[in-house]
Amino acid sequence: MSRPITPPTSKSARLRELLAGPVPVTAVGAHDGLTAKLVERAGFDAVWCSSFEVSASYGLPDASLVTMTQFLSAAEAMDAITDIPIVADCDTGFGGPLNVAFAVERYERANIAAMCIEDKLFPKMNSFADAAQDLLPTEEFVLKIKAGKEAQSDDRFLLIARTEALIAGQCIDEALYRVHAYAEAGADAVLVHSKSSRPDEILELGARWDNRIPLVAVPTTYASVSEQSLFEAGYRLVIYANQGMRAAVKGMREVLGKLRVAGHAESVHDDIATMSEIFELQGMTAAFRTAP
């Protein structure tokens, strides 16, 4: 039995419209429904369901330890309470081509707008970890992309291919070779990752790209570059992948430290959100109004 056709107002269709628009599309990393809602309230265009953040929320390394079911559950929780598209970070696609195809079917069925897979070996290690960053041969990753696209039933769903060539210390030519191969395989966008402290290699790659499909940037380490500069270089989607969680950890650490020393709750009164603010984010006020 065929699955129902996604309605015209699908979030994947909206994401495609944004990527074709005249301004950069911005997404911010989240790991649960509450953080996704905060991203939306801040005015960003999309949520990045970050594998780093989801893994950290379990207290685990970002090293392929969290399962597809856990990642999908996080994405579904975000999607259920926001009106903006969810872009799911799916690491290496949870295995080989068959695993990628299965993931595409599941994420598409859950109405997630897009999923992103990267060309590292499984199990992967976070790109900024002091560890080997071994790449899958280009031809093998192409098979994953093709399998994912063949499994797709709604042509509005996006499969984003991510190259870690620059992360692995490869040259720009190698990164370009890979993203061109991934575009030819059917990827809807290509994410080029870098851990350089400067945006030079990202901007150079953009200048040499022919703009057939959108480029995606994640300016975690080359943080001084503007969204507009990236857009002018061909990057249509800019992802702030982990700033929210890092801000939360810093804030919680400071508040908990102050509370532990002071020994009374009033010491952190001005540093924390009010209960009514949390109620509002939860929709608790509406629940009060509809309660019998």
Q: What is the pLDDT of residues 157-166, one digit of tens each?
A: 999 999 999 9
pLDDT value at position 290?
57
188 located within any domain: yes
Tell me: the pLDDT tens digits for 105-144? 999 999 999 999 999 998 888 888 888 889 999 999 999 9
| Numbers of helices and strands, H then E, in the chain | 12, 8
Q: What is the distance between the alpha carbons of residues 78 and 66, in angstroms, rounded to a whole number?
A: 17
pLDDT value at position 231?
97
5 located within any domain: no
Question: Does 180 share its domain with 282?
Answer: no
Per annotation, catalytic residue among 32, 45, 62, 154: 62
Q: What is the average pLDDT across 75-80?
A: 98
Beta-carbon contacts of residue 280 (< 8 Å; ≥ 6 apart): none
Tell me: the pLDDT tens digits for 227-280? 999 999 999 999 999 999 999 999 999 999 999 999 999 999 999 999 999 999
Question: Does 109 share its domain with 201?
Answer: yes
Nearest to 84 by CA among 11, 23, 18: 11
- Residues paired with residue 69 on neighbouring β-strands, in sequence order: none
Question: Does 39 share its domain with 113?
Answer: yes
Question: Does 229 share its domain with 200?
Answer: yes
Question: Does 223 share its domain with 276?
Answer: no
| Confidence label for 206 from pLDDT (cuts 50, 70 and 90) | very high
161 located within any domain: yes
Tell me: the pLDDT tens digits for 24-77? 999 999 999 999 999 999 999 999 999 999 999 999 999 999 999 999 999 999
Question: Does 228 share its domain with 256?
Answer: no
The boundaries of the domain holding residue 270 are 250-290
pLDDT value at position 4?
46
Q: What is the distance between the alpha carbons of residues 256 and 275, in angstroms, rounded to a whole number?
A: 17
Tell me: the pLDDT tens digits for 170-189? 999 999 999 999 999 999 99
4 located within any domain: no
Token reading at 201: 């290699």
pLDDT above 90: percentage of residues in the chain: 86
6 located within any domain: no
- Residues paired with residue 160 on neighbouring β-strands, in sequence order: 116, 189
Q: Is the per-residue pLDDT at 286 higher than 80?
A: no
Question: Does 134 share its domain with 198?
Answer: yes
Question: Does 34 share its domain with 97?
Answer: yes
269 located within any domain: yes
Assign residue 141 the CATH number of its domain: 3.20.20.60
3 located within any domain: no
Question: Does 29 share its domain with 92?
Answer: yes
Q: Is the per-residue pLDDT at 100 higher than 60?
A: yes
Q: Is the per-residue pLDDT at 292 higher than 50?
A: yes
Contact call for residues 221 and 196 (beta carbons, < 8 A): yes
Question: Does 60 share its domain with 119?
Answer: yes
2 located within any domain: no
155 is catalytic: no
pLDDT above 70: percentage of residues in the chain: 95
Q: Give the gyration radius of the chain's Cα atoms.
A: 20
* Terminal alpha carbon distance of the chain: 41
Question: Does 208 share its domain with 261?
Answer: no
pLDDT value at position 7?
46
Q: What is the average pLDDT across 2-12?
A: 61
For the chain, the domain total comes to: 2
Question: Does 142 share its domain with 230?
Answer: yes
